[in-house]
Structure 1
Amino acid sequence: MVSVNLVVLLTIKGSQLSEQPMYYFLSYLSFMDICFTSTVAPKLIIDLFLQCNTISYNGCIAQMFYAHFFGATEIFILVAMAYDRYVAICRLLYYMIIMSRQVCYMLVIASAIGAFIHSLVHVFIIIRLPFCGTNEIDHYFCDIFPLLKLACTDTRLLVIVVITTTGVLSILTFLALVISYIIILSILRTRSSEGRRKTLSICGSHITVVFMFFLPLIFTYVPVGDSVGDEKLIAAFYTMMTNKLNLSIYTLRK
Protein backbone atom coordinates (compact mmCIF):
# COMPACT_ATOMS: atom_id res chain seq x y z
CA MET A 1 0.00 0.00 0.00
CA VAL A 2 2.87 2.36 0.81
CA SER A 3 4.37 1.68 -2.61
CA VAL A 4 1.08 2.54 -4.32
CA ASN A 5 0.84 5.81 -2.40
CA LEU A 6 4.45 6.62 -3.23
CA VAL A 7 3.91 5.95 -6.95
CA VAL A 8 0.87 8.23 -7.02
CA LEU A 9 2.65 10.88 -4.96
CA LEU A 10 5.74 10.87 -7.19
CA THR A 11 3.62 10.80 -10.35
CA ILE A 12 1.71 13.90 -9.29
CA LYS A 13 4.81 15.75 -8.06
CA GLY A 14 6.75 14.86 -11.23
CA SER A 15 4.09 16.04 -13.67
CA GLN A 16 2.05 19.10 -14.42
CA LEU A 17 -0.86 17.61 -12.48
CA SER A 18 0.62 19.16 -9.34
CA GLU A 19 -0.32 22.57 -10.74
CA GLN A 20 -4.01 21.68 -10.39
CA PRO A 21 -5.40 22.26 -6.88
CA MET A 22 -7.29 18.93 -6.85
CA TYR A 23 -4.14 16.90 -7.52
CA TYR A 24 -2.10 19.15 -5.25
CA PHE A 25 -4.39 18.20 -2.35
CA LEU A 26 -4.48 14.59 -3.51
CA SER A 27 -0.68 14.40 -3.27
CA TYR A 28 -0.84 15.55 0.35
CA LEU A 29 -3.69 13.15 1.06
CA SER A 30 -1.47 10.37 -0.30
CA PHE A 31 1.40 11.50 1.94
CA MET A 32 -0.88 11.60 4.99
CA ASP A 33 -2.14 8.10 4.13
CA ILE A 34 1.45 6.83 4.23
CA CYS A 35 2.21 8.55 7.52
CA PHE A 36 -1.10 7.67 9.19
CA THR A 37 -0.86 3.96 8.37
CA SER A 38 2.83 3.89 9.33
CA THR A 39 2.00 4.90 12.90
CA VAL A 40 -0.03 1.72 13.43
CA ALA A 41 0.66 -1.01 10.85
CA PRO A 42 4.47 -1.54 11.24
CA LYS A 43 4.27 -1.93 15.03
CA LEU A 44 1.28 -4.26 14.71
CA ILE A 45 2.99 -6.44 12.10
CA ILE A 46 6.22 -6.67 14.15
CA ASP A 47 4.29 -7.58 17.30
CA LEU A 48 2.37 -10.32 15.48
CA PHE A 49 5.57 -11.70 13.94
CA LEU A 50 7.64 -11.66 17.15
CA GLN A 51 4.73 -12.47 19.47
CA CYS A 52 5.69 -9.44 21.53
CA ASN A 53 2.77 -7.20 22.45
CA THR A 54 4.55 -4.51 24.44
CA ILE A 55 5.18 -0.81 23.95
CA SER A 56 6.87 1.77 26.15
CA TYR A 57 4.95 4.58 27.78
CA ASN A 58 6.70 7.22 25.66
CA GLY A 59 6.20 5.12 22.55
CA CYS A 60 2.51 4.76 23.36
CA ILE A 61 2.07 8.52 23.80
CA ALA A 62 3.98 9.18 20.57
CA GLN A 63 1.86 6.65 18.65
CA MET A 64 -1.35 8.26 19.91
CA PHE A 65 -0.11 11.76 19.04
CA TYR A 66 0.97 10.91 15.49
CA ALA A 67 -2.11 8.78 14.76
CA HIS A 68 -4.38 11.69 15.70
CA PHE A 69 -2.15 14.25 13.99
CA PHE A 70 -2.03 12.49 10.62
CA GLY A 71 -5.67 11.39 10.87
CA ALA A 72 -6.90 14.91 11.66
CA THR A 73 -4.74 16.35 8.87
CA GLU A 74 -6.45 13.95 6.46
CA ILE A 75 -9.83 15.18 7.65
CA PHE A 76 -8.94 18.81 7.04
CA ILE A 77 -7.41 18.04 3.63
CA LEU A 78 -10.63 16.26 2.63
CA VAL A 79 -12.47 19.44 3.62
CA ALA A 80 -10.07 21.48 1.47
CA MET A 81 -10.70 19.13 -1.46
CA ALA A 82 -14.46 19.55 -1.04
CA TYR A 83 -14.03 23.33 -1.02
CA ASP A 84 -11.95 23.07 -4.19
CA ARG A 85 -14.71 21.10 -5.94
CA TYR A 86 -17.33 23.58 -4.75
CA VAL A 87 -15.39 26.52 -6.18
CA ALA A 88 -14.66 24.65 -9.43
CA ILE A 89 -18.36 23.99 -9.99
CA CYS A 90 -20.15 26.92 -8.38
CA ARG A 91 -17.61 29.73 -8.97
CA LEU A 92 -15.96 28.52 -12.15
CA LEU A 93 -15.11 31.96 -13.57
CA TYR A 94 -13.22 32.86 -10.39
CA TYR A 95 -11.70 29.42 -9.82
CA MET A 96 -8.05 30.26 -10.60
CA ILE A 97 -8.27 33.41 -8.46
CA ILE A 98 -9.93 31.80 -5.45
CA MET A 99 -7.88 28.58 -5.58
CA SER A 100 -4.50 30.18 -6.21
CA ARG A 101 -1.33 28.34 -5.20
CA GLN A 102 -0.98 30.60 -2.15
CA VAL A 103 -4.48 29.66 -1.01
CA CYS A 104 -3.65 25.96 -1.47
CA TYR A 105 -0.48 26.39 0.60
CA MET A 106 -2.43 28.11 3.36
CA LEU A 107 -5.12 25.41 3.42
CA VAL A 108 -2.52 22.67 3.83
CA ILE A 109 -0.66 24.62 6.53
CA ALA A 110 -3.92 25.36 8.35
CA SER A 111 -4.77 21.64 8.18
CA ALA A 112 -1.46 20.72 9.82
CA ILE A 113 -1.78 23.40 12.52
CA GLY A 114 -5.35 22.38 13.38
CA ALA A 115 -4.33 18.71 13.54
CA PHE A 116 -1.33 19.55 15.75
CA ILE A 117 -3.51 21.40 18.27
CA HIS A 118 -6.06 18.58 18.22
CA SER A 119 -3.38 15.95 18.92
CA LEU A 120 -1.71 18.04 21.61
CA VAL A 121 -5.00 18.24 23.54
CA HIS A 122 -5.16 14.44 23.62
CA VAL A 123 -1.57 14.16 24.83
CA PHE A 124 -2.16 16.66 27.65
CA ILE A 125 -5.23 14.70 28.72
CA ILE A 126 -3.27 11.44 29.04
CA ILE A 127 0.04 12.60 30.56
CA ARG A 128 -1.75 14.24 33.48
CA LEU A 129 -3.50 11.01 34.50
CA PRO A 130 -2.30 8.57 37.19
CA PHE A 131 -1.97 4.94 36.07
CA CYS A 132 -1.90 1.90 38.32
CA GLY A 133 -2.75 -1.78 38.29
CA THR A 134 -2.90 -3.53 34.93
CA ASN A 135 -1.05 -1.92 32.04
CA GLU A 136 -2.73 -3.98 29.33
CA ILE A 137 -4.44 -1.92 26.63
CA ASP A 138 -7.57 -3.47 25.16
CA HIS A 139 -6.65 -2.42 21.64
CA TYR A 140 -4.09 -3.08 18.91
CA PHE A 141 -2.64 0.46 19.12
CA CYS A 142 -2.48 3.27 21.67
CA ASP A 143 -5.64 5.29 21.36
CA ILE A 144 -7.11 7.66 23.90
CA PHE A 145 -10.19 5.66 24.98
CA PRO A 146 -8.25 2.47 25.85
CA LEU A 147 -5.72 4.59 27.77
CA LEU A 148 -8.47 6.37 29.71
CA LYS A 149 -9.70 2.96 30.86
CA LEU A 150 -6.35 2.31 32.56
CA ALA A 151 -6.39 5.52 34.61
CA CYS A 152 -6.81 5.25 38.39
CA THR A 153 -9.31 8.07 38.56
CA ASP A 154 -12.76 9.03 37.35
CA THR A 155 -12.42 9.80 33.64
CA ARG A 156 -16.09 10.36 32.72
CA LEU A 157 -15.55 14.08 32.24
CA LEU A 158 -12.48 13.43 30.09
CA VAL A 159 -14.47 11.00 27.94
CA ILE A 160 -16.96 13.80 27.29
CA VAL A 161 -14.07 16.11 26.36
CA VAL A 162 -12.70 13.56 23.89
CA ILE A 163 -16.13 12.95 22.37
CA THR A 164 -16.52 16.72 22.01
CA THR A 165 -13.11 17.34 20.47
CA THR A 166 -12.93 14.30 18.19
CA GLY A 167 -16.42 12.89 17.80
CA VAL A 168 -18.28 16.14 17.36
CA LEU A 169 -15.51 17.45 15.08
CA SER A 170 -15.96 14.37 12.89
CA ILE A 171 -19.75 14.74 12.82
CA LEU A 172 -19.72 18.47 12.03
CA THR A 173 -17.07 18.05 9.34
CA PHE A 174 -18.97 15.13 7.82
CA LEU A 175 -22.23 17.11 7.77
CA ALA A 176 -20.47 20.13 6.22
CA LEU A 177 -19.05 17.91 3.46
CA VAL A 178 -22.41 16.27 2.80
CA ILE A 179 -24.16 19.68 2.62
CA SER A 180 -21.50 21.01 0.23
CA TYR A 181 -22.06 18.10 -2.13
CA ILE A 182 -25.83 18.45 -1.92
CA ILE A 183 -25.35 22.04 -3.11
CA ILE A 184 -23.03 20.86 -5.88
CA LEU A 185 -25.47 18.18 -7.03
CA SER A 186 -28.34 20.68 -7.08
CA ILE A 187 -26.31 23.00 -9.32
CA LEU A 188 -25.42 20.11 -11.65
CA ARG A 189 -29.05 19.85 -12.73
CA THR A 190 -28.54 22.94 -14.91
CA ARG A 191 -25.45 21.54 -16.66
CA SER A 192 -25.22 19.48 -19.83
CA SER A 193 -25.26 15.69 -19.58
CA GLU A 194 -21.56 15.52 -20.48
CA GLY A 195 -20.68 18.12 -17.85
CA ARG A 196 -22.75 16.30 -15.24
CA ARG A 197 -21.06 12.99 -16.06
CA LYS A 198 -17.55 14.41 -15.76
CA THR A 199 -18.30 16.30 -12.54
CA LEU A 200 -20.06 13.33 -10.94
CA SER A 201 -17.02 11.18 -11.76
CA ILE A 202 -14.74 13.54 -9.87
CA CYS A 203 -17.10 14.28 -7.00
CA GLY A 204 -18.21 10.65 -6.70
CA SER A 205 -14.67 9.61 -5.83
CA HIS A 206 -14.44 12.21 -3.11
CA ILE A 207 -17.88 11.41 -1.67
CA THR A 208 -16.99 7.70 -1.49
CA VAL A 209 -13.74 8.41 0.37
CA VAL A 210 -15.53 10.79 2.76
CA PHE A 211 -18.14 8.18 3.71
CA MET A 212 -15.56 5.42 4.10
CA PHE A 213 -13.32 7.56 6.31
CA PHE A 214 -15.83 9.46 8.44
CA LEU A 215 -18.45 6.82 9.27
CA PRO A 216 -15.97 4.52 11.11
CA LEU A 217 -14.53 7.59 12.89
CA ILE A 218 -17.97 8.66 14.08
CA PHE A 219 -18.84 5.16 15.32
CA THR A 220 -15.51 5.02 17.20
CA TYR A 221 -15.40 8.48 18.77
CA VAL A 222 -19.09 9.02 19.46
CA PRO A 223 -19.71 5.94 21.63
CA VAL A 224 -22.33 5.36 24.29
CA GLY A 225 -21.58 4.40 27.87
CA ASP A 226 -19.03 1.63 28.32
CA SER A 227 -18.72 0.94 24.60
CA VAL A 228 -15.83 3.39 24.24
CA GLY A 229 -12.81 1.89 22.54
CA ASP A 230 -14.44 -1.57 22.05
CA GLU A 231 -14.86 -1.35 18.28
CA LYS A 232 -11.39 -2.53 17.28
CA LEU A 233 -12.66 -3.82 13.95
CA ILE A 234 -14.04 -0.40 13.07
CA ALA A 235 -10.77 1.22 14.14
CA ALA A 236 -8.86 -1.20 11.90
CA PHE A 237 -11.03 -0.09 9.00
CA TYR A 238 -10.21 3.63 9.25
CA THR A 239 -6.58 3.22 10.33
CA MET A 240 -5.57 0.79 7.57
CA MET A 241 -8.27 -0.35 5.16
CA THR A 242 -9.71 3.07 4.27
CA ASN A 243 -6.27 4.51 3.55
CA LYS A 244 -5.50 1.54 1.32
CA LEU A 245 -8.65 2.14 -0.72
CA ASN A 246 -8.50 5.95 -0.90
CA LEU A 247 -6.13 6.27 -3.81
CA SER A 248 -7.58 3.26 -5.59
CA ILE A 249 -10.92 5.09 -5.66
CA TYR A 250 -9.31 8.28 -6.96
CA THR A 251 -6.95 6.74 -9.50
CA LEU A 252 -9.36 4.17 -10.96
CA ARG A 253 -12.16 6.65 -11.67
CA LYS A 254 -12.81 7.56 -15.30
Structure 2
Amino acid sequence: MTLAPPRRRAPSKLAIAIALVVVTAHVLAWRATDISPSTLVSGWRGMADFLASSLPPDLSVLGAGLDAAVVTLYMGLLGTTLSIPSALALALLSSRATTPGSVTAQAARSVLSFLRSVPDVVFALIFVTAVGLGPFAGVLALVCHNTGVMGKLWAESMDESDRGPRDALRVAGASRAQVAVNAVLPTVLPSLAGLLLYRLDVNVRSSLVLGLVGAGGIGFLINQSIKLFRFDEMVTHILVVLVLVVAVDQLSSFVRRRLGV
Protein backbone atom coordinates (compact mmCIF):
# COMPACT_ATOMS: atom_id res chain seq x y z
CA MET A 1 0.00 0.00 0.00
CA THR A 2 1.48 3.29 -1.10
CA LEU A 3 1.15 6.28 1.10
CA ALA A 4 0.00 9.49 -0.47
CA PRO A 5 2.59 12.28 -0.28
CA PRO A 6 1.77 14.83 2.41
CA ARG A 7 -0.10 17.84 1.15
CA ARG A 8 1.78 21.10 1.35
CA ARG A 9 0.08 23.66 3.48
CA ALA A 10 -0.48 27.00 1.88
CA PRO A 11 1.23 29.94 3.57
CA SER A 12 -1.00 31.59 6.13
CA LYS A 13 -2.20 35.14 5.71
CA LEU A 14 -0.01 36.20 8.63
CA ALA A 15 3.11 34.75 7.00
CA ILE A 16 2.30 36.51 3.72
CA ALA A 17 1.71 39.80 5.54
CA ILE A 18 5.02 39.49 7.41
CA ALA A 19 6.85 38.74 4.16
CA LEU A 20 5.32 41.78 2.50
CA VAL A 21 6.29 44.00 5.43
CA VAL A 22 9.88 42.72 5.37
CA VAL A 23 10.19 43.21 1.60
CA THR A 24 8.69 46.70 1.81
CA ALA A 25 11.03 47.66 4.64
CA HIS A 26 14.03 46.53 2.60
CA VAL A 27 12.88 48.48 -0.45
CA LEU A 28 12.43 51.64 1.62
CA ALA A 29 15.79 51.11 3.34
CA TRP A 30 17.52 50.62 -0.03
CA ARG A 31 16.15 53.93 -1.31
CA ALA A 32 16.71 55.86 1.93
CA THR A 33 20.37 54.85 2.14
CA ASP A 34 21.11 55.73 -1.51
CA ILE A 35 22.62 52.32 -2.24
CA SER A 36 24.06 52.32 -5.76
CA PRO A 37 26.32 49.44 -6.87
CA SER A 38 27.14 51.32 -10.07
CA THR A 39 28.52 54.23 -8.04
CA LEU A 40 30.73 51.84 -6.11
CA VAL A 41 32.04 50.30 -9.31
CA SER A 42 32.68 53.68 -10.94
CA GLY A 43 34.60 54.85 -7.87
CA TRP A 44 37.32 52.22 -8.17
CA ARG A 45 39.92 54.83 -9.06
CA GLY A 46 39.47 56.65 -5.75
CA MET A 47 39.89 53.40 -3.84
CA ALA A 48 42.98 52.54 -5.88
CA ASP A 49 44.54 55.95 -5.12
CA PHE A 50 43.79 55.50 -1.43
CA LEU A 51 45.39 52.06 -1.32
CA ALA A 52 48.41 53.32 -3.27
CA SER A 53 48.98 56.07 -0.69
CA SER A 54 48.50 53.60 2.18
CA LEU A 55 51.01 50.98 1.10
CA PRO A 56 53.57 50.08 2.19
CA PRO A 57 52.81 50.75 5.88
CA ASP A 58 55.05 53.20 7.71
CA LEU A 59 56.64 50.97 10.35
CA SER A 60 58.45 53.89 11.96
CA VAL A 61 55.32 54.53 14.04
CA LEU A 62 55.00 50.91 15.14
CA GLY A 63 56.38 51.62 18.62
CA ALA A 64 53.90 54.44 19.25
CA GLY A 65 51.10 52.25 17.92
CA LEU A 66 51.96 49.40 20.28
CA ASP A 67 52.07 51.75 23.28
CA ALA A 68 48.69 53.20 22.32
CA ALA A 69 47.28 49.70 21.80
CA VAL A 70 48.21 48.80 25.38
CA VAL A 71 46.35 51.91 26.57
CA THR A 72 43.34 50.84 24.49
CA LEU A 73 43.47 47.39 26.09
CA TYR A 74 43.62 48.95 29.55
CA MET A 75 40.61 51.14 28.72
CA GLY A 76 38.57 48.10 27.71
CA LEU A 77 39.70 46.16 30.77
CA LEU A 78 38.89 48.91 33.29
CA GLY A 79 35.67 49.83 31.51
CA THR A 80 34.55 46.22 31.98
CA THR A 81 35.74 45.42 35.49
CA LEU A 82 34.81 48.76 37.08
CA SER A 83 31.24 48.32 35.85
CA ILE A 84 30.81 44.93 37.55
CA PRO A 85 29.50 46.22 40.94
CA SER A 86 26.93 48.59 39.45
CA ALA A 87 25.87 46.12 36.74
CA LEU A 88 25.45 43.31 39.27
CA ALA A 89 23.49 45.50 41.69
CA LEU A 90 21.13 46.73 38.96
CA ALA A 91 20.77 43.21 37.55
CA LEU A 92 19.73 41.86 40.97
CA LEU A 93 17.29 44.73 41.46
CA SER A 94 15.73 44.38 38.00
CA SER A 95 15.59 40.59 37.67
CA ARG A 96 12.23 38.89 38.16
CA ALA A 97 14.05 36.05 39.91
CA THR A 98 15.31 38.26 42.73
CA THR A 99 12.99 41.30 42.81
CA PRO A 100 9.64 40.16 41.41
CA GLY A 101 7.02 42.77 40.56
CA SER A 102 8.20 45.73 42.64
CA VAL A 103 8.64 49.43 42.02
CA THR A 104 12.34 48.97 42.68
CA ALA A 105 12.60 46.52 39.80
CA GLN A 106 10.90 48.94 37.42
CA ALA A 107 13.22 51.76 38.48
CA ALA A 108 16.30 49.56 38.02
CA ARG A 109 15.12 48.50 34.55
CA SER A 110 14.63 52.15 33.63
CA VAL A 111 18.19 53.00 34.70
CA LEU A 112 19.56 50.08 32.68
CA SER A 113 17.54 51.12 29.65
CA PHE A 114 18.88 54.68 29.87
CA LEU A 115 22.52 53.61 30.24
CA ARG A 116 22.11 51.11 27.42
CA SER A 117 20.37 53.50 25.03
CA VAL A 118 23.01 56.26 25.26
CA PRO A 119 25.95 55.28 22.99
CA ASP A 120 29.36 55.06 24.60
CA VAL A 121 30.61 57.70 22.14
CA VAL A 122 28.09 60.19 23.55
CA PHE A 123 29.18 59.36 27.09
CA ALA A 124 32.80 59.90 25.99
CA LEU A 125 31.99 63.35 24.58
CA ILE A 126 30.29 64.28 27.85
CA PHE A 127 33.17 63.08 30.03
CA VAL A 128 35.78 64.74 27.78
CA THR A 129 34.19 68.07 28.69
CA ALA A 130 34.49 67.15 32.38
CA VAL A 131 37.92 65.50 32.68
CA GLY A 132 39.56 66.56 29.41
CA LEU A 133 41.01 64.55 26.56
CA GLY A 134 42.55 61.20 27.38
CA PRO A 135 41.82 57.59 28.34
CA PHE A 136 40.11 58.51 31.62
CA ALA A 137 37.12 59.87 29.72
CA GLY A 138 37.00 56.66 27.68
CA VAL A 139 37.03 54.48 30.78
CA LEU A 140 34.17 56.45 32.33
CA ALA A 141 32.17 56.20 29.11
CA LEU A 142 32.66 52.44 28.93
CA VAL A 143 31.71 52.00 32.59
CA CYS A 144 28.41 53.82 32.08
CA HIS A 145 27.42 52.11 28.84
CA ASN A 146 28.66 48.69 29.88
CA THR A 147 26.71 48.88 33.13
CA GLY A 148 23.51 49.19 31.12
CA VAL A 149 24.32 46.42 28.65
CA MET A 150 25.89 43.94 31.06
CA GLY A 151 23.25 44.58 33.72
CA LYS A 152 20.53 43.77 31.20
CA LEU A 153 22.28 40.58 30.03
CA TRP A 154 22.90 39.44 33.59
CA ALA A 155 19.29 40.14 34.62
CA GLU A 156 18.00 38.04 31.71
CA SER A 157 20.34 35.22 32.70
CA MET A 158 18.99 35.36 36.26
CA ASP A 159 15.42 35.32 34.95
CA GLU A 160 16.15 31.99 33.24
CA SER A 161 17.62 30.36 36.36
CA ASP A 162 16.03 27.25 37.88
CA ARG A 163 12.92 28.12 39.89
CA GLY A 164 13.18 25.07 42.17
CA PRO A 165 15.90 26.29 44.56
CA ARG A 166 14.37 29.78 44.62
CA ASP A 167 10.89 28.53 45.52
CA ALA A 168 12.28 26.17 48.15
CA LEU A 169 14.12 28.98 49.93
CA ARG A 170 11.11 31.32 49.75
CA VAL A 171 8.87 28.65 51.28
CA ALA A 172 11.44 28.23 54.04
CA GLY A 173 11.16 31.95 54.80
CA ALA A 174 14.38 33.19 53.20
CA SER A 175 14.69 36.87 52.32
CA ARG A 176 15.21 38.13 48.80
CA ALA A 177 18.89 38.71 49.50
CA GLN A 178 19.29 35.14 50.77
CA VAL A 179 17.49 33.77 47.70
CA ALA A 180 19.76 35.78 45.41
CA VAL A 181 22.99 34.74 47.14
CA ASN A 182 22.18 31.07 47.79
CA ALA A 183 19.89 30.09 44.89
CA VAL A 184 20.19 32.48 41.94
CA LEU A 185 23.84 33.51 41.73
CA PRO A 186 25.39 30.02 42.18
CA THR A 187 23.31 28.61 39.31
CA VAL A 188 24.03 31.44 36.85
CA LEU A 189 27.65 32.20 37.77
CA PRO A 190 29.16 30.42 34.71
CA SER A 191 26.76 32.28 32.44
CA LEU A 192 27.61 35.61 34.08
CA ALA A 193 31.34 34.92 33.62
CA GLY A 194 30.82 34.10 29.95
CA LEU A 195 28.86 37.30 29.38
CA LEU A 196 31.55 39.28 31.21
CA LEU A 197 34.25 37.93 28.88
CA TYR A 198 32.07 38.71 25.89
CA ARG A 199 31.66 42.30 27.06
CA LEU A 200 35.42 42.60 27.60
CA ASP A 201 35.93 41.66 23.95
CA VAL A 202 33.32 44.21 22.85
CA ASN A 203 34.68 46.96 25.10
CA VAL A 204 38.21 46.62 23.75
CA ARG A 205 36.79 47.17 20.26
CA SER A 206 34.63 50.05 21.48
CA SER A 207 37.62 51.76 23.06
CA LEU A 208 39.13 52.01 19.58
CA VAL A 209 36.17 54.11 18.45
CA LEU A 210 36.28 56.23 21.60
CA GLY A 211 39.81 57.26 20.67
CA LEU A 212 38.37 58.98 17.59
CA VAL A 213 36.57 61.47 19.86
CA GLY A 214 39.60 62.25 22.00
CA ALA A 215 39.50 59.44 24.54
CA GLY A 216 43.07 58.36 23.81
CA GLY A 217 44.45 54.99 22.79
CA ILE A 218 45.27 53.81 19.33
CA GLY A 219 41.97 55.13 17.98
CA PHE A 220 43.30 58.64 18.61
CA LEU A 221 46.43 57.87 16.56
CA ILE A 222 44.30 56.52 13.70
CA ASN A 223 42.22 59.68 13.73
CA GLN A 224 45.37 61.81 13.74
CA SER A 225 46.83 59.92 10.79
CA ILE A 226 43.64 60.38 8.77
CA LYS A 227 43.51 64.12 9.48
CA LEU A 228 47.16 64.49 8.38
CA PHE A 229 46.58 62.31 5.29
CA ARG A 230 49.29 59.92 6.53
CA PHE A 231 47.48 56.83 5.36
CA ASP A 232 50.65 54.73 5.53
CA GLU A 233 50.78 55.43 9.27
CA MET A 234 47.07 54.66 9.53
CA VAL A 235 47.59 51.22 7.98
CA THR A 236 50.32 50.45 10.53
CA HIS A 237 48.00 51.36 13.40
CA ILE A 238 45.18 49.29 11.88
CA LEU A 239 47.49 46.27 11.67
CA VAL A 240 48.30 46.72 15.37
CA VAL A 241 44.56 46.89 16.07
CA LEU A 242 44.05 43.66 14.14
CA VAL A 243 46.66 41.85 16.24
CA LEU A 244 45.15 43.27 19.45
CA VAL A 245 41.59 42.23 18.57
CA VAL A 246 42.64 38.72 17.53
CA ALA A 247 44.70 38.29 20.72
CA VAL A 248 41.83 39.40 22.98
CA ASP A 249 39.37 37.21 21.07
CA GLN A 250 41.60 34.15 21.37
CA LEU A 251 42.23 34.77 25.08
CA SER A 252 38.51 35.23 25.73
CA SER A 253 37.67 32.02 23.84
CA PHE A 254 40.32 30.09 25.79
CA VAL A 255 38.99 31.26 29.14
CA ARG A 256 35.39 30.52 28.13
CA ARG A 257 36.36 26.97 27.11
CA ARG A 258 38.11 26.43 30.45
CA LEU A 259 35.03 27.69 32.28
CA GLY A 260 32.74 25.56 30.12
CA VAL A 261 30.60 28.50 28.99
Q: TM-score range by the shorter chain?
A: 0.3 to 0.5
Question: Scaled by the length of structure 1, what TM-score is found?
Answer: 0.32
Larger radius of gyration: 2
Question: Scaled by the length of structure 2, what TM-score is found?
Answer: 0.32
Question: Which fold has the larger relative contact order, with Cα–Cα distance below 8 Å and residues 6 or more apart in sequence?
Answer: 2
